Amino acid sequence: STRLGETMDALGNAASAARRARTMLLLVWTLLNAVSGLKADDGGMVEELVTEKEAEESHRQDSVNLLTFISLLTLTILTIWLFKHRRVRFLHETGLAMIYGLLVGVILRYGIPATSYHNKTPPSCSLKEGPSSTLLLNISGKFFEYTLKGEINFREIHNVEQNDMLRKVTFDPEVFFNILLPPIIFHAGYSLKKRHFFRNLGSIITYAFLGTAVSCFVIGNLMYGVVKLMRAVGQLTEKFYYTDCLFFGAIISATDPVTVLAIFNELHADGDLYALLFGESVMNDAVAIVLSSSIVAYQPAGANTHMFDASAFFKSVGIFLGIFSGSFVMGAATGVVTALVTKFTKLHCFPLLETALFFLMSWSTFLLAEACGFTGVVAVLFCGITQAHYTSNNLSEESTKRTKQLFEVLHFLAENFIFSYMGLALFTFQKHIFSPIFIIGAFVAIFIGRALNIYPLSFLLNLGRRDKIRGNFQHMMMFAGLRGAMAFALAIRDTATSARQMMFTTTLLIVFFTVWVFGGGTTPMLSWLHIRVGVDPDQDLDGNQDEGQSKTKQESAWLFRLWYTFDHNYLKPILTHSGPPLTSTLPSYCGPLASCLTSPRAYENHEQLRDPDTDLIHNDADLTFTFGDTAITANGASTSRADATGGLGWSTNGKRSGSTSEEALERELDSREQELLSRGTRLVFPMEDHI
Amino acid sequence: STRLGETMDALGNAASAARRARTMLLLVWTLLNAVSGLKADDGGMVEELVTEKEAEESHRQDSVNLLTFISLLTLTILTIWLFKHRRVRFLHETGLAMIYGLLVGVILRYGIPATSYHNKTPPSCSLKEGPSSTLLLNISGKFFEYTLKGEINFREIHNVEQNDMLRKVTFDPEVFFNILLPPIIFHAGYSLKKRHFFRNLGSIITYAFLGTAVSCFVIGNLMYGVVKLMRAVGQLTEKFYYTDCLFFGAIISATDPVTVLAIFNELHADGDLYALLFGESVMNDAVAIVLSSSIVAYQPAGANTHMFDASAFFKSVGIFLGIFSGSFVMGAATGVVTALVTKFTKLHCFPLLETALFFLMSWSTFLLAEACGFTGVVAVLFCGITQAHYTSNNLSEESTKRTKQLFEVLHFLAENFIFSYMGLALFTFQKHIFSPIFIIGAFVAIFIGRALNIYPLSFLLNLGRRDKIRGNFQHMMMFAGLRGAMAFALAIRDTATSARQMMFTTTLLIVFFTVWVFGGGTTPMLSWLHIRVGVDPDQDLDGNQDEGQSKTKQESAWLFRLWYTFDHNYLKPILTHSGPPLTSTLPSYCGPLASCLTSPRAYENHEQLRDPDTDLIHNDADLTFTFGDTAITANGASTSRADATGGLGWSTNGKRSGSTSEEALERELDSREQELLSRGTRLVFPMEDHI
Instruction: For A214-234, write each residue's pLDDT tens digit.
Output: 999 999 999 999 999 999 998
Q: Do B409 and A14 touch (CB under 8 A)?
A: no
At A650 the pLDDT is: 38
At B62 the pLDDT is: 76
* A191: confidence class by pLDDT, cuts 50, 70, 90: confident
Q: Rounded CA gap, B394 and A656, in Å?
A: 54
Q: Rounded CA gap, A686 and A632, in Å?
A: 9
Which is it for the CA torsion A561, A567, A573, A574, positive or negative?
Answer: positive
At B586-637, the pLDDT tens digits run 777 777 777 777 766 666 665 554 443 333 333 333 322 233 333 333 333 3
Q: Rounded CA gap, A133 and A389, in Å?
A: 43
Percent of chain A residues past pLDDT 90, beyond the cut: 17
Neighbours of B254 (CB within 10 A): 28
Amino acid letter for position B257: P
Distance from CA of A80 to the nearest CA of B (A): 8
Q: Rounded CA gap, A158 and A143, in Å?
A: 27
Higher pLDDT, A578 or A129: A578
Higher pLDDT, A6 or B549: A6
With left for phi above 0 and alpha for psi between -120 and 50, is residue A641 left, alpha or beta? Answer: beta
Q: Do B144 and A122 touch (CB under 8 A)?
A: no
B144 to chain A: closest CA residue? A151
At B37-89, the pLDDT tens digits run 333 333 333 445 555 666 677 777 778 878 888 888 888 888 888 888 887 77
Q: Work out the average pLDDT over A228-256.
A: 88
**Side-chain half-sphere exposure of A575, counting CA atoms within 13 A:** 23
Whether residue B360 lies within 8 A of chain A, CB to CB, comes out as yes
At A303-348, the pLDDT tens digits run 555 566 778 888 888 889 999 999 999 999 999 999 998 888 877 7
At B447 the pLDDT is: 94
What single DSSP character describes residue B586?
Answer: S
pLDDT at B646 over 70: no
CB B253 within 8 A of CB B490: no
At A40-89, the pLDDT tens digits run 333 333 445 555 666 677 777 778 878 888 888 888 888 888 888 887 77
Neighbouring residues of A667: CB distance < 8 A, sequence distance ≥ 6: A623, A626, A627, A629, A630
CB B449 within 8 A of CB B218: yes
Q: Which helix (H) or strand (E) holds B7?
A: helix B2-41
At B153 the pLDDT is: 60
At B114 the pLDDT is: 52
Least confident residue range of A470-484, B144-158, B185-199: B144-158
Neighbouring residues of A189: CB distance < 8 A, sequence distance ≥ 6: A282, A380, A381, A382, A383, A384, A385, A387, A388
pLDDT at B538 over 50: yes
CB A363 within 8 A of CB B74: no
Whether residue B371 lies within 8 A of chain A, CB to CB, comes out as yes
CB B521 within 8 A of CB B285: no
* A606: confidence class by pLDDT, cuts 50, 70, 90: low
Residue of B309, B347, B681, B541 whose CA lies nearest to A13: B347
pLDDT at B457 over 90: yes
Q: Rounded CA gap, B631 and B625, in Å?
A: 10
At B467 the pLDDT is: 79
The CA-based diameter of chain A, rounded to the nearest angstrom, is 95
pLDDT at B472 over 60: yes
CB A204 within 8 A of CB A285: no
Q: Rounded CA gap, B61 and B57, in Å?
A: 6
Q: Do A149 and B154 touch (CB under 8 A)?
A: no
For A360, phi and psi rounded to 5 degrees? -65, -45
Q: Among residues 41-70 of chain B, which lie with CB inside 8 Å of chain A?
A: 47-48, 50-51, 54-55, 58-60, 63-64, 66-67, 70
pLDDT at B518 over 60: yes
Whether residue A405 lies within 8 A of chain B, CB to CB, comes out as yes
Q: Rounded CA gap, A413 and A210, in Å?
A: 32
B416 to chain A: closest CA residue? A356
Q: Do B137 and A125 touch (CB under 8 A)?
A: yes
CB A323 within 8 A of CB A294: yes
Neighbouring residues of A531: CB distance < 8 A, sequence distance ≥ 6: A269, A270, A273, A472, A473, A476
Residue of A297, A294, A373 whose CA lies nearest to A330: A373
Amino acid letter for position B526: L
Q: Do B134 and A154 touch (CB under 8 A)?
A: no
Nearest to B67 among A51, A364, A405 (CB): A364
At A171-182, the pLDDT tens digits run 777 778 888 888
- Alpha-carbon distances of A65 from A421, B31, B433, B450, rounded to whole Å: 11, 38, 38, 41
Strands A134-139 and A124-126: unpaired
Helix, strand, or coil here: A135?
Answer: strand
Helix, strand, or coil here: B483?
Answer: strand
pLDDT at B160 over 70: no
At B546-578, the pLDDT tens digits run 333 333 444 445 667 777 788 888 888 888 877
pLDDT at B324 over 80: yes
For A483, phi and psi rounded to 5 degrees? -110, 145
DSSP string, B409-475: HHHHHHHHHHHHHHHHHHHH-TT----HHHHHHHHHHHHHHHHHHHHHHHHHHHHH-SS---HHHHH
Neighbouring residues of B610: CB distance < 8 A, sequence distance ≥ 6: none
With left for phi above 0 and alpha for psi between -120 and 50, is residue A689 left, alpha or beta? Answer: beta
Measured in residues, chain A has a length of 691
Q: Do A353 and B80 touch (CB under 8 A)?
A: yes
* B161: confidence class by pLDDT, cuts 50, 70, 90: very low
Which is it for the CA torsion B16, B421, B286, B175, positive or negative?
Answer: negative
At A363-399, the pLDDT tens digits run 899 989 988 888 888 999 999 999 988 888 888 888 8
At A398-446, the pLDDT tens digits run 888 888 989 999 999 998 988 988 888 888 887 888 989 999 999 999 9
Q: Do B138 and A127 touch (CB under 8 A)?
A: yes
User: SS3 sequence, A464-529?
Assistant: HCCCCCCHHHHHHHHHCCCECHHHHHHHHCCCCCHHHHHHHHHHHHHHHHHHHHHHHCHHHHHHHC
Neighbours of B54 (CB within 10 A): 18
Mean pLDDT of chain A: 73
Distance from CA of B643 to the nearest CA of A (A): 36
At B304 the pLDDT is: 55
pLDDT at B585 over 90: no
Q: Rounded CA gap, B346 and A82, in Å?
A: 9
Q: Do A412 and B17 touch (CB under 8 A)?
A: no
pLDDT at B119 over 60: no
pLDDT at A351 over 90: no
> Going from the N-terminus, what domains does chain B have, and what CATH number goes with each?
173-300+311-529 (1.20.1530.20)
pLDDT at A153 over 90: no
Neighbours of B480 (CB within 10 A): 28
- Alpha-carbon distances of A337 from A429, B67, B199, B270, B560, rounded to whole Å: 42, 15, 48, 42, 55
* A633: confidence class by pLDDT, cuts 50, 70, 90: very low
pLDDT at A248 over 80: yes
Amino acid letter for position B454: I
User: SS3 sequence, A536-561?
Assistant: CCCCHHHHHHHHCCCCCCCCCHHHHH
Least confident residue range of A26-40, B350-364, B664-678: A26-40
At A6 the pLDDT is: 53
**How buried is B690 (Cβ within 10 angstroms: 0-12 exposed, 13-18 middle, 19+ buried)?**
exposed
CB A266 within 8 A of CB A89: yes
Q: Rounded CA gap, A16 and B552, in Å?
A: 44
Helix, strand, or coil here: A147?
Answer: strand
At B684 the pLDDT is: 32
Q: Work out the average pLDDT over A338-364.
A: 87
B-chain residues within 8 Å CB-CB of A44? Answer: none
B-chain residues within 8 Å CB-CB of A67? Answer: 364, 367-368, 371
- Alpha-carbon distances of A443 from A50, A223, A424, A440, A447, rounded to whole Å: 50, 10, 22, 5, 6
At A497 the pLDDT is: 83
Nearest to B353 among A28, A77, A149 (CB): A77
Higher pLDDT, B198 or A443: A443
